[in-house]
Structures are given as C-alpha cells and as structure tokens.
C-alpha cells in the first residue's frame, strides 16, 4: 500500500446517500450516489468539507463510512452495493465497510409502529429493554436487528453502550442498559454473539462496544462533548474496577470486534487514587483515545482485548481533550501509538498521510494498526462477496417483528404507584381524557415534521393522539377536554439539557416549567378528575417529588410507544418491569457544593450511593416505597 492508500483506511466519516440530494445537487449512478463538494456550515462538522462520494473512495482511498439516513432497508442495500462497485474499481479493490448507529430502538413520542417513519423494527429504548429484563425478548430484539442490518448491507454497528450509569445528570443515560453492571453484562453477553456469531464471518454484523472505560463517571453530569465535561472522575475507592470495567470485560470475553473509548480524560485531582487495577496515579491525563495506559496497558494487556480500537467522533479536532497543544499530525501519531486504529469524525486523509510520510508515527505502528483495522474486512467476507440481494421484506415478516417489538414496549412500563388500586383503570361508563405534555417543537423540528407529514406542534400531536386512542381502545369513552372527564391520563415527557453543549447550570432533573411540564396545569386537571394517572418518560432519572403526590397511579417508561403505555393503564397488559436506574429523592440528594463535590458520588450507581452519603438518595413515595434499582409493582 502506498502512503496515500494507508492514510485513507484510518478515518471513518459520515456519508450522505443520493436520496438526500437537494435540488440541483450532483449525483451519479442513477441518483444513488451523492457527488457534492461543499463546506459544512452547521453541526458538528462545521468548517470541514463534504467531498463527492466517488472522490472519497477512489482518490482519497477511504473505506469506512457512517450512514445516518432513515431510509428503506432495500434503499440502503442498493446504495451500499453501489459503493462496493466503486471501491472494486480501485487499484487494490479494498471494499467499504458501512457503519450505522443502532436503529432498532424508538427515541420519540410515537404512538405505535404504524405512526413511525422508521423502516427498521423499533423496540423500546435500551433502558426499556433493561426494565423489561426479559432475556428471550432481548434475544429477539438482537436477532431482528442483526437480520435488518444484514439485509441493508450495513456490516458494522456503533453499538451498544455498556457504560454503567452512575451520574444521574449524564444526558446519555438513555442509551445505556442502566446502573446494575451484572445486568448490563448479562445482556451484552447475549447480544454480541447474536450480531457477530461465534466469530466474524459473511453473516456477521461487527459491533463497536462503547464507551471505554465507562462514560457514566461524569463530573456532575457534564459530558465530554463539551469542555466542561472533559474529565472522568472516580472520587470513590475502587469504583472503576467495581462498577465500570466489568461490562467491558464481558464484551471482550464475548469477542467484541471493536471498542470505542470515550472523549474524556482520567483526572488525578478529581479521583481517589490509586484506582485499581492501577497501582498509583493515572500516568497519562489525556483523552482515552490517546491514552496508552488505558488502551494498551489496561484494555489490551490486562483485559485481553483482541479486536481493534475505534475512536469517538471528532476526537482528532474539537474534542481532543488533553491533546490541544499537539499539532494535528502529532495527535494522529499519539492516537495510533496508544492503540487507536480507526478515527471517527474526520475525512482529513492528508493529515494521516503527512504523519506517515514525515515519520511522525513510525511505519511499524502504522502497519500494525492497519492490520488490526483491515482484518475485519477479511473476516466479514467482503473480499469474497461484498454485495447483498435486494429484495423487499415480506410484509408478514414485518408484521411479526412489529408484534414482537410491541410486546417489548409493554414489558418496559414500570408501575411505581397504585394508590387504592387505581390501575388498571376501571372504566365502566366513566369518561377518560388523555394528553401528552412535553416541550414545544423547535423551528427545525417543525420543518422536519412538516416534510414528513407528521404533526408539527404538540397541540396537533394531541389531536392525532385523541384519534388514535379512540381507534385502539373503542371500549373507552374518551373525551376532548379534561373538564368533561372522570379520569385523566397524562403522558409526560420532560426535557432537560442539550446533547452538544453544556447547560448554564447543572442539568435540571426536577419536573416543572423549566423541564417543560406546567405544574399549574397538571394541578387543574388533578382538581377536576376523580383519578389521575401519570406516566413519566425517563431518558434521565428525573426527580418525581412534584408529580408522585398528585398521581393515583404512576408509571414510568423508556422511549415506549404510547399505545403500549395506555394498554398497561387500561388493563390489556399487566406490568412486570422493574426500574433499571434508581431515581433521586430530591435536589438535596444531587446538590453540588461550592467545591464542585456532589452530595452523591458521581462514580457509584444509585443502588449503592447511600453507602457514601449521610442523607437518602432514593426517592421514597407516600406509601414508603423506595424507587431504587429493581423496584416495580404488579397488579397482583
């Protein structure tokens, strides 16, 4: 391989499909391939260049791409097949590996599978799967995901998160399997072989497990997507070894093809050291993608990882924490030397070529990382046959998959409170009101929803919700206003924080106007009706003290279809789920003092936090039930 060809193998970058072309933009291959060259002017790639697809494959020698479009499975398959034809025309004929984030979990306020625009079967969020804790259902979820990725010719998945959720303000809690590492390990031990097989072959989807050594150990919730959250903190003795590393060891033992390190820096000043399995202070206070101590010494040498390391997005540039003073070619060298073999979020092949040609990184290291990187291409059988047959999925199969997923949605609903057996609702001749309470849509969301023919305001969504519930539950007398109702069901989706930027203060976990729930309005409904049933969507472990006392029946859900939630409330499914995370008692339990120290340790899961506290951590309701990991009522 020439230096140019080697350089092209190291980056992985977003690649839009031809179906995303705007009017007048260049395409090739009958519109399948996008051939646009322009500057990114917004989003995480601002300042970078979007290159034509053929140029990236044939001239820049890139072979790893990430697809984000919500397209039909057969459309994606046709697109990837075409990418492979372009790649085969190159000098070495190295094939493309197309990658995607997970696609088989819902993440919106969706009524049911007929109301979503997704072309992949959507189960509840991973927290919901953990709440259901039905291992046979989890196996079905992974099996269906594998089948749909394979049919689309997406051969690599940026999934799943095995981070132990320990800091309640961490915005990415929603993507985890919760806070109990034995359960996380139990799940991932089943999921990896179902996607990859016992070893990678022509039927495998290679998984990238993330985010090593665990992203849950945040400093008061701030995330390393921005500078305020750049540190992983371990203020508690042995927390790294006791809580955060075990699921990664399970993933390694299960044969994970790739592991993704997080952006963060291990901090000596903010941690209790030594932090086993290390014997003293952390030797390298630099982001994990650059950190030989964590990648080579711990992940590879101690834990026995035999796959390759795939960095998180933009760690070469805007999130190069601890490496800011290094020139960009020095950053490349530092990452490759530390063990990283695939660098996400860049298409700057020239900086890799510069590092190689000028000897900033030695040739032996370059070749070692290339072998680690390209081995997956051979294992997946791409050199033998990189194509898939493009056949529409049988609609009976689609229906069966959606039915399976709907059961998982029902199984994800946790019953927390059931005063005077309010649930399941005894309808009789009573009138029922249903409403979704959440944040008003942004201008960008309105545009997207209007383009897709979806309701573009919360009011419009609720109009559609009223029509949907009447169709799904014809035995119930639903009314259009709470003033007419005897019973009310409020579906609450509080919203707090932003993915790519820090909040002005610590992330707000209270449910009130600032998280887009109007408590005065809720109180009016409470005063009007005989029974109030509330469901709270938990993408974060929200504090329920403003809501629980008002509710006769209280459930929580995790990216669960609204119809599934209502089927629990109306007695069509009896709840069995348990909390996958502990819910904080109040603001005092997560308060941060003037020295930046949280009342509850950032690095310890909720079920164990009180071992290190003088005040309660878990919420306790009016019946003295504590909302800790594993808690959940049934109708029995």
pLDDT of residue 128: 98
Angle at which helix 328-338 crosses helix 363-379, to 10 degrees, equals: 60
Judged against a pLDDT cut of 90, whether residue 455 lies above it is answered with: no
For tokens 């689309």, name the residue: 152
Percent of the chain predicted with pLDDT > 90:
94
pLDDT digits (tens, 9 = 90+) for 191-239: 999 999 999 999 999 999 999 999 999 999 999 999 999 999 999 999 9
Residue 414 pLDDT more than 80? yes
Q: CA 203 to CA 50: how far, in whole Å?
A: 32
Query: Residue 347: in which H helix or E strand, if any?
Result: none
Matching residue, tokens 């979020």: 345
Q: pLDDT grade, residue 391 (50/70/90)?
A: confident
pLDDT for 500 equals 81
Give pLDDT, residue 441. Answer: 86
User: Could you give the CA distance from residue 436 to residue 459 in angstroms, rounded to a whole number?
Assistant: 9
| Tokens 């479009």 belong to residue | 69
pLDDT recorded at residue 60? 98
Rounded distance, CA 632 to CA 320, Å? 42
More confident of the two residues 392 and 249 = 249
Out of 40-49, 146-155, 287-296, which region has the weakest mean confidence (pLDDT)?
40-49
Write phi, then psi, for 537 (nearest 5 degrees). -75, 125
- Structure confidence at residue 392 as a pLDDT band (50, 70, 90): confident
Find, among 512, 516, 515, 510, the residue nearest to 589 by Cα: 510
Q: What is the pLDDT of residue 499?
A: 80
Average pLDDT, the chain: 97
How distant is the alpha carbon of residue 394 from its chain centre? 29
For 595-628, how does the pLDDT look when each residue is reduced to its tens digit (9 = 90+)?
999 999 999 999 999 999 999 999 999 999 999 9
Q: Tell me if 134 sits within 8 A of 579, measured CB to CB.
A: no
Outline where DSSP puts E strands in 366-430.
Answer: 414-418
Euclidean distance between CA atoms 464 and 202, whole angstroms? 44
Any idea what DSSP says for residue 307? S
DSSP codes joined into one string, 567-630: HHHTTSS------SSPPB-SGGGG-B-TTS-BSS-TTS-HHHHGGG-SS--B-B-TT--B--TT
Confidence class for position 580, pLDDT limits 50, 70, 90: very high
Q: Where are the domains of the chain?
A: 1-101, 402-612
CB–CB of 537/395 below 8 Å? no
Extract the tokens encoding 30. 């009958």
Residue 452 has pLDDT above 80, yes or no: no
**Average of per-residue pLDDT across 290-308:** 98
pLDDT bin (cut points 50, 70, 90) of residue 122 is very high
Residue with tokens 């601002």: 46
pLDDT tens-digit profile of 491-534?
999 999 988 889 999 999 999 999 999 999 999 999 999 999 99
Which pairing describes strands 156-158 and 38-39: parallel, antiparallel, or unpaired?
unpaired
Q: How far apart are CA 29 and CA 58, in angstroms?
A: 15
pLDDT at 359: 97
| Sheet strands (E) in 498-631 | 531-537, 553-557
591: pLDDT strictly greater than 80: yes
Q: Which residues of 145-182 are buried (b: 16+ CB within 10 A; e: fewer)?
A: bbbbbbbbbbbbbbbbbbbbbbbbbbbbbbbbbbbbbe
Fold of 402-612: Rossmann fold (3.40.50)
The secondary structure of the chain in percent helix, strand, coil, rounded to multiples of 5, reads 35, 15, 50
pTM for this entry = 0.97
390 burial class (0-12, 13-18, 19+ CB within 10 angstroms)?
middle
Task: Say what the pLDDT of residue 480 is.
Answer: 96
The pLDDT of residue 468 is above 80: yes
Q: What confidence score (pLDDT) does residue 498 get?
A: 86
CB atoms under 10 Å from CB of 268, counted, come to 16
């Amino acid at each position: 391989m020439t230096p140019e060809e080697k350089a092209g193998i190291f980056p992985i970058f977003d690649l839009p499909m031809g179906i995303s072309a705007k009017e007048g933009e260049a395409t090739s291959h009958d519109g399948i391939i996008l051939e646009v060259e322009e500057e990114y002017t917004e989003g995480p790639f601002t300042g970078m260049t979007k290159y034509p697809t053929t140029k990236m494959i044939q001239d820049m020698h890139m072979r790893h791409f990430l697809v984000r479009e919500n397209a039909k499975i057969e459309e994606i398959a046709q697109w990837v097949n075409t990418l492979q034809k372009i790649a085969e025309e190159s000098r070495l004929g190295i094939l493309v590996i197309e990658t995607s984030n997970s696609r088989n979990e819902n993440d919106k306020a969706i009524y049911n599978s007929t109301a979503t625009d997704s072309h992949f079967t959507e189960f509840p969020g991973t927290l919901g799967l953990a709440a259901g804790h039905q291992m046979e259902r989890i196996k079905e979820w992974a099996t269906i995901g594998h089948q749909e990725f394979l049919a689309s010719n997406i051969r690599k998945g940026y999934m799943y998160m095995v981070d132990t959720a320990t800091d309640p303000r961490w915005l990415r809690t929603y993507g985890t399997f919760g806070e109990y590492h034995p359960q996380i390990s139990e799940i991932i031990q089943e999921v990896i072989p179902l996607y990859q097989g016992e070893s990678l072959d022509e039927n495998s989807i290679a998984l990238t497990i993330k985010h090593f050594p665990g992203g849950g150990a945040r400093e008061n919730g701030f995330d390393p997507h921005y500078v305020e959250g750049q540190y992983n903190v371990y203020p508690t003795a042995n927390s790294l070894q006791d809580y955060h590393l075990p699921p990664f060891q399970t993933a390694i033992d299960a044969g994970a093809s790739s592991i993704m390190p997080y952006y963060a820096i291990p901090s000596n000043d903010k941690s209790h050291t030594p932090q086993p399995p290390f014997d003293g202070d952390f030797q390298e206070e630099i982001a994990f993608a650059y950190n030989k101590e964590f990648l080579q010494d711990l992940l590879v040498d101690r834990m026995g990882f035999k796959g390759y390391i795939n960095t998180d997005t933009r760690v070469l540039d805007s999130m190069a924490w601890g490496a800011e003073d290094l020139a960009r070619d020095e950053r490349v060298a530092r990452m490759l030397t530390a063990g990283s073999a695939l660098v996400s979020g860049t298409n700057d092949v020239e900086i890799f070529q510069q590092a190689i040609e000028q000897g900033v990184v030695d040739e032996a290291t370059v070749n070692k990382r290339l072998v680690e990187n390209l081995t997956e291409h051979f294992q997946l059988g791409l050199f033998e046959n990189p194509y898939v047959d493009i056949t529409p999925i049988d609609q009976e199969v689609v229906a069966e998959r959606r039915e399976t997923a709907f059961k998982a949605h029902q199984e994800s609903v946790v019953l927390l409170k059931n005063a005077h057996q309010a649930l399941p609702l005894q309808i009789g001749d009573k009138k029922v009101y249903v409403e979704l309470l959440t944040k008003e849509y942004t201008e960008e969301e309105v545009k997207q929803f209007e383009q897709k023919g979806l309701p573009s305001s919360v009011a419009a969504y609720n109009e559609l919700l009223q029509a949907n519930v009447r169709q799904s539950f014809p035995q119930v007398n639903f009314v259009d206003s709470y003033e007419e109702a005897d019973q009310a069901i409020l579906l609450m989706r509080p919203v707090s924080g932003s993915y790519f930027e820090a909040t002005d203060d610590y992330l707000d976990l209270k449910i009130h106007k600032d998280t887009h729930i109007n408590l005065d309005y809720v109180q009016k409904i409470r005063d009007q009706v005989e029974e109030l049933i509330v469901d709270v969507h938990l993408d974060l472990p929200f504090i329920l003290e403003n809501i629980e006392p008002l509710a006769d029946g209280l459930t929580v859900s995790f990216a669960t279809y609204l119809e599934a939630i209502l089927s629990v409330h109306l007695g069509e499914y009896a709840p069995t789920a348990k909390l996958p995370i502990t819910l904080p008692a109040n603001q005092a339990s997560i308060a941060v003092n003037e020295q930046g120290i949280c009342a509850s340790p950032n690095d310890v899961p909720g079920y164990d936090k009180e071992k290190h506290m003088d005040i309660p951590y878990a919420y306790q309701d009016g019946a003295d039930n504590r909302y800790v990991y594993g808690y959940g009522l049934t109708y029995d």
